[in-house]
Structure 1
Amino acid sequence: MESHAFFDEAIMILPKKEGPLSGMTFAVKDVYEVSGHRNSAGNPTWYETHEKGKHTAPVIERLLDNGATLKGMTHTDELMYSLNGENIHYGTPLNPIAPNCIPGGSSSGSASAVACGITDFALGTDTGGSVRIPSSYCGLFGIRPTHDSIPCNGVIPLAPSFDTVGWMAKTIETLEAVGSVLLPNAVDTAFNHFYIEENAWSLMNSEDCEILRNKIPQGLSIDKVDFKSIGFFEWPELFKRIQGIEAWRAHGEWITNAQPRFSEAIYGRFQYASSLNPMQYDDLKKQQAQIAWRISEALGEDGMIIIPTAASVAPEKNAPGEAVESVRAMTMQLTCIAGISGLPQVTVPVLREDGMTLGLSFIANKQCDRSLLKFVRKYFSGN
């Protein structure tokens, strides 16, 4: 079965030198600048109104400098403003775990390329969950790093306050190998405190909840943390408003001038974004900073939060709009924890008996990315 993962499968750039990633291939989401390639950002009008890249994004150059081979430019949801992976212009990349289900977005093609075994790993971007959710739906390991730990130069933005370079792989060993190249060697942490956020776990049905809880490593001393007292259920609205103002700031002028054709859902999100009052932005950012501080304080230097990655397994393709938005809302409730706080999050695939996959996530404090990957490798190597 064809993966339909690629916008341009012909792109190939050989490594510049030998390194720790020698022998590995990777694909990149069609929002990364590559010299001589014209990005689509998931929309034909974007493709028609933008020039070919003059440079190659530094993060890609770094991978090439460390032995990896670039092999293909992958599909994305329109302007990265979705978690589904369905694109009315270019189609839906295959989710090989569940071909009748969505792959998750917006890094849909990247997830499909890895899950189908075409490349060893793939770069995506994660703003509201766009690496973590397709990783969960397609049975992959994925990471959203500490915000700003990897520069987003040469990457088309959606909402810079939340945009991160992220990647996914079939094994934690590969995920960590890429991290050893891309991530700064910041904080070396031995995790001693582990927290379950019950409000987050309540978003998942009891059967799936039990499957995930049984995959939490044995021997950890687990405590509970309650974010409801600091507005947990209001966080998605705050996230959505900041994201919307930034998205319109980034793309509003182009949308107004170019009049692109969007899917109904993407059109609605940009309409919402255009209606927001940018004068409220500074106050919204102050609220975000306060929440981020409270979450970081709760974690301390050696704490870790354990939550479901997504609220469910991958939904079926072409689901009714109301059902899609319901799943999206619950999923955003989970993904906005790391989004609001700028913290690193690694998702681990967990297989159900029916072959579908769930995601189990681990969130640590800022700059603990490498330690987080090391922790996950310790308990999930060979998963």
Structure 2
Amino acid sequence: MTPYVSDVVVQGAADGPLRGLSFAVKDLFEVEGTRSGWGSPDRLAEAPVAAATASVLLPALAAGATLRGKTKTDELACGMFGENPHDGAPLNPAAPGRVPGGSSSGSASAVGLGDVDFAFGTDTGGSVRVPASFCGLFGLRTTHGRLSTAGLMPMAPSFDTVGWLARDARTLRRVGECYFGPITPVLPPRILFAEDAMAQCVPAVASVARAAIEALPRLHRFTLFEEGAAHWLATFRPLQLNELWATHGEWATRPGRNLSPAVAQRIGIAREVTAAEMAHAVPARAALQARMAALLAGGDIIALPTAHDLPPLRDSPVEAQIAFRERTLALTCIASLCRLPQISLPLASLDGVPVGISLIAGSGQDAALLAAAEALTA
């Protein structure tokens, strides 16, 4: 149940604000002199040796942090649970009998185990936020397009973002300062409680999540899903799947591919997205983006649960996993569709298992989000 696929080490600069800290990276990031397998033995066998390190890692290295390994991911980053049949599932240190979350599973596990101080992942539909919630960590999905994805495996380019995880808000913020400049912890003008999002959660999780959110300062209630949660999901699904097919479809369907059944099924579903679905989804996304931009223009931040339920038990039935993914995607697709930054905070628990609470800010307000996270957890 190791988090790692490689123990590659890259020393950071001799001095800098992150000197003495260590980090890991998801095996979607190029690291000079290594191959990236993307959670797939077929990809690893064909992968070239990287000529350069992904550009987004360079500021952390220049700030003095040292890379201590590449971490496991769901195959082709297609998963919410971290159970890769080729590599095995990393341990969830906060709930050992449960999945760590995916697809940035190894990154969350490595941080949760205390092996490294922080770890980079990617987030398309929740792949940093969900592992953060499941493992009781702080996890940031950055504004789409804010940080370079050069040298990373693409999945769905209009959704793909870089993010990172840490055990505390201070470390999360210190990493953020390498990219966004100095950040002073400060509360937002208002925290908007998406009260209707509780209906997406199982009752026990809704209860502890509600208590955690209602304890936050400057709280105002509002209705998030004016169009209904199903509308958000119906907008997200065809767009993301269409891009998945465009990115990986031809490669994944070549004869002799050794894909796991779940990923092969997902690629097959992606192939079947219709023109009618796309014709609905493209303008629907634009309308949702406009509404969220107007809502958050004054610097307010939305609060809602990160996931609808506790992390599933390891080796849960596939049917149960599919149902789980759909319900949690209704929560995580909000920031993904609207290209917004989001942080999951470990503010609640149920029977000793972490329950993440998320904050969503306006586009480009990554620094303000990190500032709010630290102010709220100080």
Give the stretch that moved more between structures: 309-318 or 205-214.
205-214
TM superposition shift of 1:209: 2.2
TM superposition shift of 1:351: 4.5
One of 81, 95, 98 as aligned partner of 1:101: 98
Task: Check conservation: 1:199, 1:227, Cα contact below 8 A.
Answer: yes
Return closer, same or farther for 1:6/1:226 CA change in 2, 3 Å cut-off: same
Q: Pairwise mapping of residues 227-266 of structure 1 onto structure 2 (< 5 A)?
A: 227-257=224-254, 259-266=256-263
Q: Pairwise mapping of residues 337-352 of structure 1 onto structure 2 (< 5 A)?
A: 337-352=334-349
Residue of structure 1 in register with 2:329 after alignment: 332
Residue of structure 1 in register with 2:319 after alignment: 322
Q: Pairwise mapping of residues 131-210 of structure 1 onto structure 2 (< 5 A)?
A: 131-183=128-180, 191-210=188-207
Residue of structure 1 in register with 2:27 after alignment: 30
Return closer, same or farther for 1:187/1:378 CA change in 2, 3 Å cut-off: closer
Give the stretch that moved more between structures: 43-52 or 187-196.
187-196
Residue of structure 2 in register with 1:7 after alignment: 5
TM superposition shift of 1:185: 7.1
TM superposition shift of 1:228: 3.1
Matched to 1:214, the amino acid is A
Task: Check conservation: 2:186, 2:371, Cα contact below 8 A.
Answer: no
- Determine whether 1:313 maps to 2:313: no
- Runs of at least 5 residues in structure 1 that lack an aligned partner in the other structure: none
Task: Check conservation: 1:77, 1:106, Cα contact below 8 A.
Answer: yes
Task: Check conservation: 2:92, 2:98, Cα contact below 8 A.
Answer: yes
Residue of structure 1 in register with 2:71 after alignment: 74
Cα-to-partner distance string for 1:164-213 (whole Å, 9 max, x where unaligned)? 00000001000000111123679998622222223311122333223223
Cα-to-partner distance string for 1:291-328 (whole Å, 9 max, x where unaligned)? 11111212232211110001111110111111111111
Counterpart secondary structure, 2:326: helix
Return closer, same or farther for 1:78/1:64 CA change in 2, 3 Å cut-off: same
TM-score (norm 1): 0.93
- Whole-Å Cα distance in 2 between the matches of residues 167 and 24 of structure 1? 14
Matched to 1:269, the amino acid is R
TM superposition shift of 1:60: 1.2
Give the stretch that moved more between structures: 217-226 or 367-376.
217-226
Task: Check conservation: 1:191, 1:304, Cα contact below 8 A.
Answer: yes
- Whole-Å Cα distance in 1 between the matches of residues 38 and 49 of structure 2? 13
- Whole-Å Cα distance in 1 between the matches of residues 256 and 276 of structure 2? 25
- Runs of at least 5 residues in structure 2 that lack an aligned partner in the other structure: none
Return closer, same or farther for 1:247/1:74 CA change in 2, 3 Å cut-off: same
Residue of structure 2 in register with 1:117 after alignment: 114
Give the stretch that moved more between structures: 188-197 or 44-53.
188-197
- Whole-Å Cα distance in 2 between the matches of residues 276 and 185 of structure 1? 44
TM-score (norm 2): 0.95
Task: Check conservation: 2:119, 2:164, Cα contact below 8 A.
Answer: yes
Aligned-residue identity in percent: 37
Residue of structure 1 in register with 2:59 after alignment: 62
Give the stretch that moved more between structures: 160-169 or 231-240.
231-240
Task: Check conservation: 2:187, 2:375, Cα contact below 8 A.
Answer: no
Task: Check conservation: 1:217, 1:379, Cα contact below 8 A.
Answer: no
Counterpart secondary structure, 1:254: helix
TM superposition shift of 1:286: 2.7
Give the stretch that moved more between structures: 290-299 or 171-180.
290-299
